[in-house]
């Protein structure tokens, strides 16, 4: 490379855009890796296949006397739940990569942390969208009664999903920063399972007692499920929802609040976590992890 | 940040009158225990300095403070003219840290990861320092060219360590930190690693600070050795200077009438003369061993206390070193 080219390369590359570009390519590379190796591929396919199997057996069952089919109700709800699971993925990935030293490496590189976080958002969000497609496309062939023909359906899907990820991924990053080890991560599953159980994913929330309905409406999972149902169910299905309404405004508001809180807190928590990383910290966690295995 | 970065980049060759590392009165306290006490030292551009000491002496703490990964309790620290506790990304680009990888980036391929980390350094290139280091050149320099397309999780321990070094070097750092770089390497990998470090220092004038508890390694690699014990620097000089500190402790061994004798004396020449006058022909297998770096090390570390529960690791380290020194 001659001097002129070097100058041009430098002029084009300021540190911030370099870090973001590196983050983008990091995200794309890791996304590609997760679809080109056996173990990851199984984990991408296992859950959708299980869900589709369950939906297949539910497809002819009616929900109460509403005339709606249970499978039709459940497919969009499961999509919403899976979208919310990006939170758990983000949290697990952050803890694991803090433990194995990936984060420390990012910290030792100029612009590394910014690029690392950018890359993770791309990997997790990209993986999530792919997983949703893996579930939705065969699901639409399997399940009758979905109203997915209009552009409006897909527009609703797009904004609910985008806002949902904004609401859940920063929270996942915060949780991932707070847990000291990958083992502690197991604890996060319990409240998430509880949230799923009461969020009207597998059964309409209106059949739950009022106080549980109130709690459910504080979680992003409920609103993601509702948003997805509003995108894919026929208009008359709205009767099984609270207040007989898809409540788009409320959906945007609740998810928006989660997003605002998460985006405000996540940088602070992430920075605090990153500040504490050092070689001896990673070595210590390695020792502990190896003891667990051995 | 942008304009600051440029300012730093243009003035990056001379810091504080040529001192790349300038540490004064460094103190580190955890709770009520002082891990480091009044640590003071300097290193010039292009110097290779080894921080030697038993486990628990504070080597890793010192290096992590200099890397900017750990906050100090007190003292003044300047690395490349900047306090690492408040350093920016432009400073980070001039510093190389060789981390001991464990299983990070296992799915990445060797060349892919090295090229990726190289891209971060593009904006920090200057007219004198071209950044990053060309990926294939660097792979060749650390002897990983043939494994360029392999997945990182399939590498052996020694290969991984060489990749760690390559990642630490990819930004062509002016200063390189190596914490226990050869721990867990087999003798051949260790030899290759030593050659690589020597080449870096000779060809690229990289300033290097390394920690080790292996005396032979320190002697082989470093221009200067600092011995850290109990949180203090108890000796600082070239290997020869340190060895001479305990001059007068030469060891004389001989056999006489089928028995082995050992005597430690300040004046070995006169002692040997006396020995021959007294026993003449009966003396056999005479051997005089000059005081070595090891003697200084053992004396100093023993005198100042080992600085905490080093335990078996410490004993093993000293034992290795002894074997290495005497077998040369």
Q: Is B109 on the interface with A (CB under 8 A)?
A: no
- The shortest CB-CB distance from A13 to any of B69, B102, B123 is to B123
Whether A217 has a pLDDT exceeding 90, the answer reads yes
Q: How confident is the model at residue B155 (pLDDT cuts 50, 70, 90)?
A: very high
Once rounded to an integer, what is the mean pLDDT over residues B238-257? 79
Hey, where are the domains in chain A? Answer: 27-293
Query: What is the pLDDT, as a whole number, of residue A4?
Result: 47
Task: Check B125 against A101: CB less than 8 A apart.
Answer: no
pLDDT, tens only, B38-76: 999 999 999 999 999 888 889 999 999 999 999 999 999
**Chain B residues within 8 A of A39 when measuring between CB atoms:** none
Per-residue pLDDT at A65: 66
Give the pLDDT of residue B5: 39
pLDDT value at residue B17: 60
Which residues have a Cβ under 8 Å from the Cβ of B218 and sit 6 or more positions away?
Answer: B50, B52, B210, B212, B225, B239, B293
- Interface probe for A, chosen from B99, B153, B178 (most Cβ of A below 10 Å), is B99
Q: Do B175 and B204 form a contact (C-beta atoms < 8 A)? A: no
**Which residues of chain B have a CB within 8 Å of the CB of A282?**
99-100, 102
**Mean pLDDT confidence for A47-70:** 83
With an 8 Å Cβ cutoff, is B313 touching chain A?
A: no
Give B123's contacts in chain A (Cβ within 8 Å): 10, 13-15, 18
Q: What is the mean pLDDT of residues A113-121?
A: 94
Residue whose C-alpha is closest to residue B92's, from B127, B117, B62, B59: B117
Q: For B133-143, what is each residue's pLDDT tens digit?
A: 999 999 998 88
| pLDDT above 80 (res B11) | no
Segment B170-220, tens digit of pLDDT? 999 999 999 888 877 788 888 888 998 898 888 888 999 999 888 889 989
Please tell me the pTM assigned to this model. 0.83
Tell whether the model's pLDDT for residue A147 goes beyond 90: no
Q: Is the model more confident about A128 or about A11?
A: A128
Contacts with B105 from chain A: Cβ below 8 Å: 102, 105
| B249 vs A253, residue with greater confidence | A253
Residues 6+ apart with CB under 8 A from B159: B144, B147
Q: What is the mean pLDDT of chain B?
A: 83
| Of B74, B53, B55, B51, residue with least CA distance to B63 | B51
Q: pLDDT-derived band of residue A148, with 50, 70 and 90 as boundaries?
A: confident
Q: In the prediction, which pLDDT does B186 show? A: 83
In chain B, residues with a C-beta closer than 8 Å to the C-beta of A108 are 67, 92, 97, 99, 168
Report ipTM for this prediction. Answer: 0.87
Cα B89 from Cα A21, distance rounded (Å): 16
- Topology of domain B21-242+307-317 in CATH is Rossmann fold (3.40.50)
Q: Are A27 and A121 in contact (CB under 8 A)?
A: yes
| Token pair 């892919």: residue | B112
* Averaged pLDDT score across all residues of chain A: 88
Band of pLDDT at residue B248, cut at 50, 70 and 90? low
**Average pLDDT, integer, range B2-6:** 40
Q: Show the DSSP H helices in chain B as ranges.
A: 2-10, 59-67, 89-94, 110-119, 135-141, 157-169, 187-204, 215-221, 239-245, 268-279, 293-304, 311-326
Torsion of CA A144, A145, A150, A154, to 10 degrees: -70
Q: What are the φ and ψ backbone dihedral angles of B179, each rounded to 5 degrees?
A: -100, 115
Does residue B310 have a pLDDT over 60?
no
The answer, yes or no, to whether residue A94 has pLDDT greater than 60, is yes
Contact B102 A280 (CB under 8 A): no
* Cα distance between residue B166 and residue B309, in whole Å: 33
Helical segments of B74-156, H only: 89-94, 110-119, 135-141
Q: Is B82 in contact with B16 (CB distance < 8 Å)? A: no
Give residue A126's pLDDT: 96
Report long-range pairs for B7-16 (Cβ below 8 Å, ≥24 apart).
Answer: B8/B82, B8/B88, B8/B90, B8/B91, B9/B90, B9/B124, B9/B126, B10/B126, B11/B81, B12/B80, B12/B94, B12/B126, B12/B129, B12/B174, B13/B45, B13/B128, B14/B45, B15/B78, B15/B80, B15/B81, B16/B78, B16/B81
Task: Please give the residue of chain A at the shortest CA–CA distance from B102.
Answer: A100
- So what's the pLDDT on residue A88? 92
pLDDT band at B322 (very low <50, low <70, confident <90, very high): very low
Q: What CA–CA distance (Å, rounded) separates B87 from A287?
A: 30
* Distance (Å) of CA A120 to CA A94, A109, A124, B188, B282: 9, 16, 6, 38, 78
pLDDT at A269: 93
pLDDT digit string, tens, across residues A168-203 = 999 999 999 988 777 777 788 888 888 888 898 888
Give the residue from A4, A15, A29, A272 with the most B CB atoms within 10 Å of its CB, the best one to mutate: A15
A-B contacts at Cβ under 8 angstroms: 103
Is the CB of A9 less than 8 angstroms away from the CB of B1?
no
Residues 129-168 of chain B whose Cβ lies under 8 A from any Cβ of chain A = 130, 167-168
B69: closest CA among B106, B28, B38, B34? Answer: B28
Q: Which two tokens stand for residue A153?
A: 């359906």
Question: Quick check: B60 contacting A, CB < 8 Å?
Answer: yes
Strand arrangement of the beta sheet that strand B250-256 belongs to:
B259-265, B250-256, B283-289
Lowest mean pLDDT among A145-149, A239-243, A259-263, B228-232: A145-149
Q: What percentage of residues in chain A have a pLDDT greater than 90?
A: 55
């Amino acid at each position: 490379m001659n001097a002129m080219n070097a100058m041009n390369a430098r002029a084009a590359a300021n540190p911030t855009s370099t870090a973001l570009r590196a983050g983008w390519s990091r995200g794309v590379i890791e996304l590609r890796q997760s679809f080109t190796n056996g173990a990851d591929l199984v984990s991408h396919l296992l859950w959708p296949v299980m869900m589709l199997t369950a939906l297949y057996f539910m497809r002819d069952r009616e929900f109460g006397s509403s005339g709606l089919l249970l499978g039709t109700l459940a497919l969009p709800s499961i999509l919403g739940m899976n979208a919310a699971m990006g939170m758990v993925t983000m949290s697990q990935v952050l803890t694991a990569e803090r433990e194995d030293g990936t984060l420390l490496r990012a910290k030792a590189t100029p612009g590394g942390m910014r690029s690392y976080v950018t890359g993770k958002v791309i990997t997790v969000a990209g993986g999530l969208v792919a997983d949703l497609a893996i579930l939705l496309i065969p699901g639409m062939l399997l399940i009758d009664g979905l109203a997915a023909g209009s552009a409006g359906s897909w527009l609703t899907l797009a904004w609910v999903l985008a806002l949902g990820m904004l609401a859940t991924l920063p929270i996942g990053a915060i949780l991932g920063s707070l847990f000291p080890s990958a083992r502690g991560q197991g604890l996060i599953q319990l409240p998430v399972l509880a949230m799923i159980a009461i969020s009207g994913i597998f059964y309409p929330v209106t059949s739950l007692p009022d106080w549980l309905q109130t709690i459910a409406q504080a979680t992003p999972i409920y609103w993601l499920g509702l948003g997805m149902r509003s995108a894919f169910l026929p208009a008359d299905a709205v009767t099984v929802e609270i207040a007989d309404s898809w409540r788009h405004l409320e959906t945007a508001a609740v998810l928006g609040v989660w997003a605002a809180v998460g985006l405000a807190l996540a940088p602070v928590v992430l920075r605090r976590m990153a500040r504490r990383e050092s070689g001896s910290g990673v070595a210590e966690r390695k020792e502990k992890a190896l003891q667990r295995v051995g | 940040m942008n304009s600051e970065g440029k300012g730093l980049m243009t003035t990056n060759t001379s810091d504080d009158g040529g001192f790349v590392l300038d540490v004064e009165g460094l103190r580190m306290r955890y709770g009520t225990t002082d891990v480091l006490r009044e640590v003071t030292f300097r290193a010039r551009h292009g110097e290779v300095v080894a921080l030697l000491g038993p486990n628990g002496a504070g080597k890793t703490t010192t290096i992590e403070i200099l890397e900017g990964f750990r906050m100090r309790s007190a003292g003044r620290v300047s690395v490349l003219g900047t306090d690492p506790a408040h350093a920016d990304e432009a400073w980070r680009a001039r510093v190389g840290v060789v981390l001991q990888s464990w299983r990070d980036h296992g799915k990445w391929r060797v060349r892919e990861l090295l090229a990726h980390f190289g891209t971060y350094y593009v904006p920090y290139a200057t007219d004198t320092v071209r950044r990053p280091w060309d990926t294939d050149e660097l792979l060749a320099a650390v002897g990983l060219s043939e494994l360029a397309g392999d997945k990182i999780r399939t590498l052996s321990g020694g290969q991984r360590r060489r990749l760690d070094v390559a990642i630490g070097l990819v930004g062509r750092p002016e200063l390189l930190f190596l914490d226990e770089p050869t721990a867990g390497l087999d003798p051949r990998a260790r030899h290759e690693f030593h050659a690589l470090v020597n080449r870096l220092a000779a060809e690229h004038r990289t300033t290097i600070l390394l920690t080790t508890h292996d005396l032979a390694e320190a002697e082989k690699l470093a221009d200067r050795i600092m011995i850290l014990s109990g949180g203090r620097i108890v000796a600082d000089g070239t290997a020869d200077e340190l060895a001479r500190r305990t001059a007068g402790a030469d060891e004389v061994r001989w056999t006489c009438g089928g028995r082995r004798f050992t005597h430690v004396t300040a004046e070995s020449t006169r002692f040997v003369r006396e020995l021959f006058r007294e026993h003449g022909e009966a003396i056999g297998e005479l051997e005089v061993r000059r005081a070595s770096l090891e003697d200084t090390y053992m004396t100093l570390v023993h005198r100042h206390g080992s600085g905490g529960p080093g335990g078996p690791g410490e004993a093993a380290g000293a034992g290795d070193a002894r074997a290495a020194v005497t077998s040369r």
